[in-house]
Amino acid sequence: MKKKRILPIFITHRGCPTRCIHCDQGVIEGVPPTLEDAFSSLRRLLRQWEGIPDEVAFYGGDFAGLDAETLEKVLSESTRLVREKFGVTLPIRVSASPLTLTESKIARLKKLGVSTVEVGVVSMDGEVLHRAGRRYSPKRVKEVLLGLREEGFKVGVQFVSGLPGDTIEKFNYSVKSVFALKPHFTRLYPLVVIKGTPLGDDFLAGRFIPPGPEFHILASALHSAWARRFRVSVARVGLHTPSNEGKVIARPGVKNIRQKGEGLFLHFLLSRLRDKFGSGATLKIPSSWRTIFREGEKALRYFPEGFPSVESDGVAFSDRGYEGVVLSLPEKGELLVDPGILAEEFSKEVTVWGAMV
């Protein structure tokens, strides 16, 4: 499928009902501080842009938190600039918090022609939300997602793994319960700690210990597995790319988190099949899974010995796909094992991180 070309407009903390403890959009996106600066940067971007984008997207703040007048001004000015350059009106995508996506705001976004809403869910655990400074409940998230679906929006959800109080069980519940509500797509941002944020202060003072790579790999495995199960498209798993690297003071410390997570889950599935069919069996999987399998091998290094894994010499990769009697792993399709089992199995060893100490 062709990747969408999205024209991004950063509104820098505009509309944010709170300052979340981990967030410094100004640092993460290197964005300008005022709306006028945002329009200047849009004009610059438009001058360089070749071809027609598929969509305009507002990121970096809480779009539904803007007051009515600002919201209309931002939409009309950006629509005008886009029409001037491309001669067309493009579909609009916005990001917003469950707190500000009230019934009346949802209706207004609809009226103003917004087609896609990305909801910053973050977590479905009350304690994690509270400690992150997000002032809504998991119940509210459900109401908002159902309301958006009912109004016919394309709905995206965003999660953060590893915030204070987060555990594998909580993360597993978060993705499972949200994906069961059938959003269209999802993003996962493993936590980075940025200097100058409240979480950065806690980290530097030794009051917060960020999770290690294994936590984020496992979270990514669960995120991908449940997404597959509920047919939710994974738009992204990865860190924000900071404009000022020097301000990032803690990060997961592992590359290719998405592939490692998927690979970990693949090893888990294969080990279950190996248990069923015996160690003499050859497991045949499509060639397209080769990279994921290798990343899974690398991911296993982060876990204690004895965790489910399959030796690569017991696995055959085939372009012809599913000729083996032992295993067929369609690219898209039902998973063979409930992803929740992965959480149960692994969380015995992956202990609770992210607690304030």
Q: Write down the least CB distance from residue 145 to ligand SF4, Å.
A: 17
Backbone angles phi, psi at 278, to 5 degrees: 95, 155
Q: What is the DSSP string of 51-110?
A: S--SEEEEESS-GGGS-HHHHHHHHHHHHHHHHHHHSSPPPEEEEE-TTT--HHHHHHHH
Counting contacts by CB under 6 A, is residue 141 touching ligand SF4?
Answer: no
Counting contacts by CB under 6 A, is residue 19 touching ligand SF4?
Answer: yes
Q: Write down the least CB distance from residue 184 to ligand SF4, Å.
A: 20
Pairing of strands 114-122, 154-161: parallel
Place of tokens 């500000």: 100
Interface segment toward ligand SF4; rule CB under 6 A; list 19-27, 169-177, 198-206, 240-248: 19-27
Q: What residues does 317 pair with on adjacent strands?
A: 285
**In the complex with ligand SF4, which residue's Cβ is closer, 26 or 339?**
26
**In the complex with ligand SF4, which residue's Cβ is closer, 62 or 166?**
62
Counting contacts by CB under 6 A, is residue 192 touching ligand SF4?
Answer: no
Element (H, E) at 185: strand 185-190
Counting contacts by CB under 6 A, is residue 167 touching ligand SF4?
Answer: no
Residues 73-132 that bind ligand SF4 (CB under 6 A): 97, 120
Counting contacts by CB under 6 A, is residue 295 touching ligand SF4?
Answer: no
Q: What is the DSSP string of 196-256?
A: TSHHHHHHHTTSB----HHHHHHHHHHHHHHHHHTT-EEEEES----S-GGGEEE----S-
Residues 55-74 that bind ligand SF4 (CB under 6 A): 61-62
Which residue in 7, 9, 10, 23 binds ligand SF4 (CB under 6 A)? 23
Euclidean distance between CA atoms 293 and 107, whole angstroms: 45
Per-residue contact track with ligand SF4, 268 to 287, x per CB under 6 A? Answer: --------------------
Residues in contact with ligand SF4 by the rule CB under 6 A = 13, 16, 19-20, 23, 25, 61-62, 97, 120
